[in-house]
A and B are shown apart, each in its own frame.
Chain A
Amino acid sequence: MKKKWNVKLEVLGLLLAILWLAPFYLMFVNSFKSKKEIFMDTISPPENWSFDNYITAFEELDFMQTLFNSLLITVISVVLIIIFSAMAAYALSRAKSKLSTVLFFTFVAAMLIPFQSVMIPLVTVFGKFEMLNRGGLIFMYIGFGASLSIFLYHGALNNIPRSLDEAATIDGANRFQVFWYIIFPILKPITVTVAILNIIWIWNDYLLPSLVINTPGSETIPLKMFFFFGEYTKQWHLALAGLTLAIIPVIIFYFFAQREIIKGVSDGAVK
């Protein structure tokens, strides 16, 4: 009786998984078809697996440059968010005072502000100071990413006993040494969570780069995808090859880090 129940669940699960993956299957098989073949049949695999669409999409998207831009912006932003948020959270958790409480709540409250509410003044102000470029974008990501990161680091830091800081201070370490050599290494699990949560949204962000990046050649993947689609709305065979190209880096990342990613997301939401 019990065994039969398990088999049913197993089958149900696998059917759902197939349903979940169907959009990716459809994208993949059609990306190898010609325009005409897509018109005839969207379900079957292609008659011959031709890479023509990919070659065209690769060139049109300037794929290596676009991938590099996305990597550059994501990596620098996430590294800076980690360093600066961990430092700020450390100061706020170690110097207990009214001021620290007010600052902490200001950071947390900033999470409630939807991007659209600050978008227009943000762009006009940064525009005045000629900061609508990649440097400006990274700076903005630090501002928008800091809230959740500080919140997570703060929670973790409160669980690290202060006696550890004091022991290191007695041994002659200054504040920066205590933080970098003693505390930051202990924070590694939460750093992984902070990194993953920030990588996901910064890598996929479209609206902010669309407002900030104006120079051709420095577009990120989502941004380029949108331009690409404007020109190819009716050319699904090329568009689907482009989408598949855009997804490949994410799939590779997911393949290698799936455990940390799922754990990071659940820790981030639960804490």
Chain B
Amino acid sequence: MRTKDLSYWLFLAPVLLALTLVVVVPMLLGVYYSFTTWNGIDTGEFVGFQNYIDLFKDQRFLDSLWFTTKFSIVSVILINVIGLSLALLVTGRVRSSKLLRTTFFMPNLIGGLILGFIWQFIFIKVFASVGEIIGMEGLQGWLSTTNTGFWGLVILMSWQMAGYIMVIYIAYLEGMPKELLEASEIDGASPFQRFRYVVFPLVAPAFTVSMFLTLSNTFKLYDQNLSLTAGGPYNSTEMVAMEIFKTAFAQNAFAYAQAKAVIFFVIVALIALVQVYLNKRKEVEM
């Protein structure tokens, strides 16, 4: 097949059309609109960088950006630590390994919106009644403060995603040459030494993949945020994705929301590229 053949273009046409109309055109239009006073119907007038200047003075937007960053850092660390621990557990000498894998992975099949509602019930109702029984007041009124809302989101996300990350680590752990582990065992290495000097360097590529996935998923989080806290109390647990949505559809500030969306894209793309670049460089060293 050559690129000037008709069949080449026939094979490509459906996805090219879909990608162009769904991603490329909206992205280019979006960048253009972010420099105008677009209201969703009329393009309005060209205002240059005004929207971008405004958003850096917009406390609500900056707060959501900071909240998202904190949430992502804490979640990425927790999800990877838990995910790797679960992977080590189920690839060890346990008989219920298959059952455990199935269980830990399960939350990932159920949508974030539904999981958020289930946990809302647990944090509000179950925590309150457990708190009453054991006499811990700290368990009352979860999700009603910024702090408990933050940890609520972290718990939900770690519980959901650890199983997904576990599956990725398992793939690398099982692909690891068994002779290396046996050799180190014969040489008298302790379990910790085996992990630190044999297992860990070999699963480093898994770390690149899982960190990419956890970072981009936590940074773009929307559904769980909406169903667990809906951004409350007083928008203090509002993450960037939700803030952009509200700017556009609740305040009808389309061009302004679009400028935020462009900044959001730049941040996500930068994080992804820098992260993959740094991890790749580390892999080579090992």
Inter-chain contact A118/B22, CB cutoff 8 Å? yes
A-B contact pairs, 5 of them (CB 8 A): A16-B100, A17-B104, A95-B3, A119-B248, A140-B18
Given the known A-B contacts A17-B99, A17-B103, are A222 and B22 also in contact in the complex, defined by CB atoms under 8 Å? no
Inter-chain contact B245/A116, CB cutoff 8 Å? yes
Proximity bits, A222-236, B CB within 8 Å = 1, else 0: 100110010000001
Q: Give chain A residues whose Cβ lies under 8 Å from the Cβ of B95.
A: 10
B268 within 8 A of A: yes
Given the known A-B contacts A20-B104, A43-B129, are A114 and B94 also in contact in the complex, defined by CB atoms under 8 Å? no
Residues of B within 8 A of A (CB): 1-3, 5, 7-8, 11-12, 14-16, 18-19, 21-27, 29-30, 33, 40-41, 86, 89-90, 92-97, 99-115, 117-119, 121-122, 125-126, 129-130, 159, 163-164, 167-168, 170-172, 209-210, 213, 216, 220, 222-223, 226-227, 240-241, 244-245, 248, 254, 257-258, 261-262, 264-265, 268-269, 272-273
Residues of A within 8 A of B (CB): 5-6, 9-10, 12-14, 16-17, 20-21, 23-24, 26-27, 30, 38, 41-43, 80, 84-85, 87-88, 90-92, 94-95, 97, 99-100, 103, 106-107, 110, 112-122, 124-125, 139-140, 142-144, 146-147, 150, 174-176, 179, 200, 203-207, 221-222, 225-226, 229, 236, 239-240, 243, 246-247, 250, 253-254, 258, 261-262, 265-267, 269-270
Measured in the bound complex, the distance between the Cα atoms of B99 and A10 in whole Å is: 11
A14-B96, A17-B96 given; 9 more Cβ-contact pairs under 8 Å: A17-B99, A115-B220, A116-B241, A117-B27, A117-B261, A117-B264, A118-B23, A118-B26, A229-B117
> Which of B102, B113, B118, B268 is most buried by chain A, counting CB atoms within 10 A of its CB?
B113
In the assembled complex, the CB of B172 is this many whole angstroms from the nearest CB of chain A, namely 8
Total A-B pairs, Cβ < 8 A: 271
Q: Give chain B residues whose Cβ lies under 8 Å from the Cβ of A110.
A: 19, 23-24
Q: Give chain B residues whose Cβ lies under 8 Å from the Cβ of A91.
A: 1, 7-8, 11-12
Select from chain B the residue with minimum beta-carbon distance to A269: B168
Chain A binding surface, main DSSP class: helix
Inter-chain contact B19/A143, CB cutoff 8 Å? yes
Chain B binding surface, main DSSP class: helix
In the assembled complex, the CB of B88 is this many whole angstroms from the nearest CB of chain A, namely 10
Inter-chain contact A9/B213, CB cutoff 8 Å? no
